[in-house]
Amino acid sequence: MKGIMADPLKDIMLRITDDNPETRGQKLWVMFALSLFLVASLNWYAMVREPQVVDIEDLVQHKNEVVLVEGKVISWIEDRYGNGEDRVDLVIEDDTGVIQVRWYSTGEIPPIGTNVTAMGDVVDWNGRFYMQATGSGAFHWEEKDLPTHQRVSISDLAVAPDDFVGKIVTIDGFISKSISPDAVYTSAYLTDHPGNAAHQMQLLIQSATGAWIEADSKIEVSGMLSFQETNLRWAFHVQGPDILLDTSYQPQIIRLDWATEATWSYESGSKVILAGTLRITDGVWELEGPNGHTICVIPTTEDMAEAELQNYSGSIFDAEGRLMWSDDRNSWCIDANQGMGQNLVDPMTALSMQAMLSADPASMLQAPNTHYTINTYMKYAFEPLDTEGYFVDSQTYTFGQTSIAMTFPGTRTEWIESGQGIVADVTIVWDDEDMRMRLMVNSYTLTGNPPPPATMLWDDGATQWGYSKNQFVLIDGKAALHDDGWYLERPGSEQSIKLNVLPNAIGTDSLHENQSLTWHGRLVQIEHSSELALVFLLDGADALDEDGDRLADSFEDATGFNSNTIDSDGDGINDREEMENGTGPNNENS
């Protein structure tokens, strides 16, 4: 039987390989038909062949193969780099591990917690495996695969967070900050009260919301609770497009105060109101405060038309809009167009930047030319010759403060103080030496004022003083001249600190001789001249003189002058001259 079946095939092959010129044309047609048959057979096999279902831990054995993975969706990010790409990065988990699936030409996105079947190519990129899927049919799930959400309160999570790990839960609350429509990664807080919260929880938002969410808005979110080892705290992971807004609750618009200008950056992206004198020059709008400081205003078309009719310039004006950073003006602006003006950005905070880096650090390094605008603060005082330091998410130290390493483009001529607000354009690189992510600062603008100098107490000791190294501080004491220069001594003790006094300093003149004064300067450490030790020095030191009348504030308070004004009695003669002339408040000639 075997020989009989082989005879026809043998006959065909003999005809094909025959060199007879008379049958050469027939042979070509037979070969062509046979090739078509083989190609069609292979295509049919490729279509009907079902990809193999593979455990995630075994994907390393299927490099460059199309496979199926079955598991639960635990997170997804839509348009990771904000460039409009039709791409969603999903993370799928099964009993053996997790895998990222990069899905292009997407369809409906499965909710978090959905059990799905994903089909795609297994890709090995420098030892890091992920799957690449294309088309709406790459993911499949049915109604029975959708998650069942458990509704809980923030207090439930606070009492027993471990009970909800790995579960999809739904909670509502008030969001702590405004969320811009195109922010792919955002870190905020969810509280149980907009102004007097008993509980708050970190909220990590992935994927752009597509619409503004105002600070203190009441929202409903569904997601998963996880413990953040880097910050030693719990966080709730949600997807931006899935945030539900309770429109029945309207948050209050924040009124800014010119006296607290240094804290305005906390309201970045929020709707604000600020009163001031409106100045319009060549179409440029600015709002001027009582201290002479200004903030730019970006009006609507209707505002500009009304201003021409009513002559707004020079009038007291309540500017209402969204507080945004203007790249064109390198300053904060109140945008009446609700954040839709040109070249305006809502800078991310250091906390949001860290959340973005923690979510998928490898992907961030794949886009080294992507620029980010970050609204942050200096962690330590930054010397002019320093190029490496840290950004933090709050002006003063708080427990759990977020720090990010950064590098400046070069040296400077001035110090940048600890707690100084800064808006910087940065890119992200990998630091081989320190084995961590690092922000490269391309350009920056200082905003607001640094915190006031800290008061140092002699009883605090060297360790506590070390926390204020390189910062401006206040120290009480008496100045005394030694063989090697001026020292600030603690009265009644042997404690002292070396002084590097300013030229023409008032603290060492004859009027202030042997007086206990409050001194102001930068606390630095230097080597001891004769011992193997480090000692503190108050650099650029002088007695504190807030009103600038060349009388130390503590001296004025002790002698009856007003330390807040140059001319305490308003007679046209400044306090210094009165003291030198013997006509001060406590003087017989006054």
Position 122 scores a pLDDT of 92
* Residue where a domain terminates, one of 345, 379, 407: 345
Can you tell me the distance from the alpha carbon of 194 to that of 197, in angstroms, rounded to the nearest whole number?
A: 7
DSSP SS3 for 526: strand
Last residue of a domain, one of 193, 224, 245: 245
Q: Does residue 356 sit in the same domain as residue 435? A: yes
Backbone angles phi, psi at 476, to 5 degrees: -90, 140
**What pLDDT is stored for residue 590 in this prediction?**
47
Would you say 285 and 297 are in contact if contact means Cβ atoms under 8 Å apart? yes
In this predicted structure, the answer to whether residue 520 has a pLDDT above a threshold of 80 is yes
- Note the pLDDT tens digit of each residue in 480-500: 998 888 999 998 888 899 999
Please, what's the b/e burial string for 365-388 (b: 16 or more CB within 10 A of its CB; e: otherwise)?
Answer: eeeeeeebebbbbbbbbbeeebee
Burial class (CB in 10 A: 0-12, 13-18, 19+), 9: exposed
| 470 assigned to some structural domain | yes
- Give the pLDDT confidence score for residue 250 in this predicted structure: 87
Q: How far apart are CA 317 and CA 275, in angstroms?
A: 6
Residues 214 and 304 grouped into a single domain: no
Residue 492: predicted pLDDT: 86
The three-state secondary structure class of 224 is strand
Asked if 157 and 225 count as a contact pair (C-beta separation under 8 A), the reply is yes
How far apart CA 277 and CA 293 sit, in angstroms, is 11
Q: For residue 127, with 0-12 CB atoms within 10 Å meaning exposed, 13-18 middle and 19 or more buried, which class applies?
A: exposed
Q: What is the pLDDT confidence band of residue 533, given thresholds at 50, 70 and 90?
A: confident
DSSP letter assigned to residue 564: T
Which has the closest alpha carbon to 227: 202, 199, 206, 207?
Answer: 202
More confident residue, 506 or 83: 506
Strand partners, 406: 389, 439
414 and 434 share one domain: yes
| Shared domain check, 118 and 183 | no
| 27 in any annotated domain | yes
pLDDT of 5 strictly over 50: no
Strand partners, 259: none
Mean pLDDT of 430-443: 85
pLDDT in tens, 255-295: 888 888 878 888 888 899 888 888 888 888 898 888 888 89
Q: Let me know: does 536 contact 497? Beta carbons within 8 Å.
A: yes
Are 357 and 340 found together in one domain? no
**How many Å apart are CA 484 and CA 506, to the nearest integer?**
20
Give CA 403 to chain center in angstroms. 10
Please, which residues have CB within 8 angstroms of residue 279's CB and are 6 or more apart in sequence?
A: 285, 286, 287, 288, 294, 313, 314
A 10 A CB-CB count for 399 gives 6
Which spans in 125-247 are helix H? Answer: 154-159
The answer to the question of residue 322 being in a domain is yes
- Asked whether residue 417 is assigned to any structural domain, the reply reads yes
Neighbours of 78 (CB within 10 A): 22
Those residues with Cβ within 8 angstroms of residue 230's Cβ, 6 or more apart along the chain or in another chain: 354, 358
Considering its fold, how many domains does the chain have in total? 6
Backbone region of residue 353 per phi and psi (left: phi > 0; alpha: psi in -120 to 50; beta: other values)? alpha
Query: What is the Cα–Cα distance from 309 to 294, expressed in whole angstroms?
Result: 24
Asked whether residue 432 carries a pLDDT value surpassing 70, the answer given is yes
H or E element, residue 28 = helix 24-48
Tell me the per-residue pLDDT of 349-387, one tens digit each, with 9 for 90 and over. 766 776 666 666 666 777 778 888 888 899 989 888 888
Nearest one of 111, 105, 122, 120 to 75, comparing CA atoms = 111
Is it the case that residue 400 has pLDDT exceeding 70?
Answer: no
Cα dist. 523→15, 305, 454, 476, 515 in Å?
A: 100, 54, 10, 13, 21
Instruction: Tell me whether residue 96 is in a domain.
Output: yes
Per-residue pLDDT at 174: 94
Tens of pLDDT, residue by residue over 148-195, are 888 898 888 888 888 888 788 999 999 988 888 888 888 889 998 887
Token look-up 């040109």 returns 342
Q: Quote the tokens at residue 324.
A: 């945004």
Check pLDDT > 50 for residue 333: yes
CB burial readout 325-350, b (16+ within 10 A) else e: bbbebeebbbbbbebebeebbbbbbb
pLDDT per residue over 56-65, tens digit each?
999 989 888 8
Residue 585 lies in a domain: no
Instruction: Assign residue 436 the CATH number of its domain.
Output: 2.40.50.140
Give the structural domain span for 141.
Answer: 53-145
| pLDDT mean across residues, the chain | 83
- Which tokens belong to 491? 């009265």
Residue 176 tokens, joined: 């702590």
Higher pLDDT among residues 228 and 297, named by residue: 297
Looking at 345, 361, 387, which one is the last position of a domain?
Answer: 345
Higher pLDDT, 346 or 296: 296
pLDDT-based confidence at 523, cuts 50/70/90?
A: very high
* DSSP H/E element including 218: strand 218-228
Q: Which of 514, 478, 506 is nearest to 576 (CA)?
A: 506
For residue range 308-322, list pLDDT tens digits in order.
Answer: 887 888 888 888 889
Same domain, 59 and 141: yes
Pairing of strands 388-392, 97-104: unpaired
Confirm whether 549 is domain-assigned.
no
* Pair 327, 308 in one domain: yes
Q: Which of 217-221, 289-293, 501-505 has the lowest mean pLDDT?
A: 289-293
Is 436 found in the same domain as 468?
no
Verify that 437 and 471 share a domain, yes or no. Answer: no
pLDDT surpassing 50 at residue 137:
yes
Same domain, 57 and 90: yes
Q: Report in angstroms the alpha-carbon separations of 331 from 113, 286, 297, 491.
A: 43, 11, 11, 47
| Average pLDDT, integer, range 131-153 | 89
Please check whether residue 569 lies inside any domain of the structure.
no
Q: What pLDDT score was predicted for residue 125?
A: 84
Q: What is the pLDDT of residue 497?
A: 92
In terms of domains, do 124 and 164 share one?
A: no
Whether residues 362 and 430 share a domain: the answer is yes
CB 534 within 8 A of CB 528: yes
**Span 534-559, mean pLDDT?**
89
